Amino acid sequence: MKVPFVDLKAQYQSIRSEILPQLEAVCENTSFVLGPFVKEFEEAYAKFCDAKHAIAVNNGTSADQLAIMAMIKPGDEVITPPNTFFATTEAITAAGGKPVFVDIEEDSYNIDPAKIEAAITPKTRMIVPIHLYGQPADMDPIMDIAKKHNLYVVEDAAQAHGADYKGRRAGSIGDAAAFSFYPGKNLGAYGEAGAVTTNSEEVADFVKLYRDHGSKTKYVHDIEGHNMRMSGFQGAVLGVKLKHLPGWTDNRRRNAALYNEHLSGVDGVITPKEMPYAKHVYHLYVIRVKNREGLQSYLADQGIASGFHYKIPLHLQKAYEGMGHKSGDFPVTEKVMEEILSLPMYPELSAEQIAYVANAVKEFIAKS
Ligand SMILES: Cc1ncc(COP(=O)(O)O)c(C=O)c1O
């Protein structure tokens, strides 16, 4: 049996009859950049996230950059964990900020609120928690610390469309949030796309202005911005797909529960923990084992794809040599990241495929 890591084709086939007429409508309307399809999606997505505004941009990295840039000044320090995708810290730097790392919790894999205050300096202006793998970070203590020290909070919700924290939607809790709609995400476009959500008029205005050359009126420029607009096709695709997202999320949660049934209690395997405050949307289903490289190649031999999210903690990346970090600086991150392996996870995955993957994991553990 072959089990791919994600199966975008299966999903496309299930919604083909809804997608194609919308793509044709974009052509008929020649609404290729921003336009009515994007606007309609922005309104629907803001509602879905329980936020006042959703501003569509060209990808999640831009969403992170603009959400951060809207609130910091050049040189400000921005706290984030070292086990996120590289885009988060690229965006902090592109926004003029300086990334400062804080270690994670061993059970949630998200930033450890208990370690944030020690990293705050007079230059700290913002915290960027990541809702990693689809599980919200522990937002209440993070918001309390931010309030106490007068800091902004931008949620990196690139992996957490539709996740909840104590009944509140990811993307509605911080001062702003950034979403990616990269094709493999829980809500994925058919190309690059992203969005910022916020309840703040000022942040929304800044993002709208900056994404379109600093211009509200054609050829009149209030600030120097950039071209970070969403394409009309992506707005149309996302509008169709958003209606299916709750059902797809249920399927992801069902699939995670099935994996858990097979794998929890297996000696040598740590399954993901859904925290009591969270509704996890399982963008990724990540287990921990002692020999993840060995397991990955064993699975590959059985036709099963898997991945590392991520391979190297950010503080040990060559790109950040200049920060002067060394092994041991963020021990929980380093320990967890040596053990993680992401198993296939997508809404269309069958119970039979899950059983096949879980059995292969168990076989490998029994052999080693
Ligand atoms: C946590 C995180 N932040 C930011 C991004 C950047 O999003 P994009 O790939 O759409 O630029 C991603 C997605 O890859 C991500 O997983």
Residue ranges covered by each domain of the chain? 16-239, 244-367
Confidence label for 223 from pLDDT (cuts 50, 70 and 90): very high
pLDDT value of residue 285:
99
Residue-wise pLDDT for 236-250, tens only, equals 999 999 999 999 999
CA of 85 to the centre of ligand 1 (A): 6
**Averaged pLDDT, 136-149:** 98
| CA separation for the pair 197, 159 (Å, rounded) | 14
Contact present, 361 and 295 (Cβ < 8 Å): yes
pLDDT reported for residue 45: 99
**DSSP code for 344:** P
Q: Which residues of 297-323 are buried (b: 16+ CB within 10 A; e: fewer)?
A: ebbeebebbbbebbeebbbbbeebeeb
Task: Dig out the tokens for 144 from the structure.
Answer: 């309390």
Instruction: Calculate the average pLDDT of the chain.
Output: 98
Angle of CA points 252, 85, 155, to nearest 5°: 75
Tens-place pLDDT, residues 160-209: 999 999 999 999 999 999 999 999 999 999 999 999 999 999 999 999 99
State the pLDDT confidence band at 270, using cuts at 50, 70 and 90.
Answer: very high
Per-residue pLDDT tens over the stretch 109-122: 999 999 999 999 99
> What is the sign of the dihedral through the CA atoms of 113, 99, 325 and 287?
positive
CATH classification for the domain delimited by 16-239, as one of 3.40.50.300, 3.40.1710.10, 3.40.50.10540, 3.40.640.10:
3.40.640.10
Around 335, how many Cα atoms within 13 Å sit in the side-chain half-sphere? 10
Q: How confident is the model at residue 72 (pLDDT cuts 50, 70, 90)?
A: very high
CB of 61 closer than 6 angstroms to any ligand 1 atom = yes
Report the percentage of the chain scoring pLDDT > 90: 100
Atom of ligand 1 nearest to the CA of 62: 11
- What is the pTM assigned to this prediction? 0.98
Domain boundaries 244-367, corresponding CATH code: 3.90.1150.10
Q: Which residue CA neighbors atom 7 of ligand 1 most closely?
A: 60
Rounded to 5, what percent of the chain is helix, strand, coil?
Answer: 45, 15, 40
